[in-house]
Amino acid sequence: MLEALITSKTRIKLLLKFFLNSSNRDYLRGLESEFGDSSNSIRIELNKLESAGLLESINSGNKKIFNANLKHPLFPEINSILMKFTGLDQLFIRVINQLGDLHEVYLIGDLGRGVDSELIDLVFVGNLNRDYLNTLIEKAEKHIKKKIRYVLFTIDEFIEKKENIISDRDLLLWEKDKTNK
């Protein structure tokens, strides 16, 4: 199955789009303009992924809307592979798990939308030591060989500005366990 996942650049783009951020939904023409690929190559890959049960679709008017099949037994593994591919797994190991009073971390920008990028855009919410965060970010950048850009908000600032910062296409990467508050 792994060979089937990496033989096509279009398939990799689709996997990133739908499996990195499982809330993503899109249709053929939207994907065509986003990827810059031909509609035929995208259609072929969408059909293959849907036939394999990895994608689901619904008809909405004259559009067929696709999304990841979260119930597919390979969903967690594909997501894990994509986290490694993008470097997000190392971000967790080297940064997020070492921060103190952290409440939420959002992935925004291209990667948040499921588009591969050399830039990782993050929103941190909590009461953090910015100097320590910068040190951890620098170490992570060297290890994953990607640039990390971030913004830090206190909880109150984030609550006040959340609607202007986070969209429904952004990905909540990490959230403090509600029972630990």
Predicted confidence (pLDDT) per residue in 118-169, tens digit: 999 999 999 998 899 999 999 889 888 899 999 999 999 999 999 998 987 7
| Whole-number percent of the chain with pLDDT over 90 | 55
Predicted confidence (pLDDT) per residue in 14-45, tens digit: 998 999 888 899 999 999 988 888 999 999 99
pLDDT at 2 over 50: no
- What are the extents of the domains in the chain? 2-76, 87-180
Contact call for residues 147 and 141 (beta carbons, < 8 A): yes
Contact call for residues 99 and 133 (beta carbons, < 8 A): yes
CATH number for the domain whose boundaries are 2-76 = 1.10.10.10
- Cα torsion through 79, 100, 176, 141, rounded to 10: -20
CATH superfamily of this structure's domain 87-180: Beta Polymerase, domain 2 (3.30.460.10)
Predicted confidence (pLDDT) per residue in 63-118, tens digit: 999 999 999 999 999 999 998 888 888 888 778 777 878 999 999 998 888 888 89
* CA-based nearest residue to 72, from 42, 51, 41: 51
The pLDDT score that the predictor gives to residue 105 is 92
pTM value is: 0.76
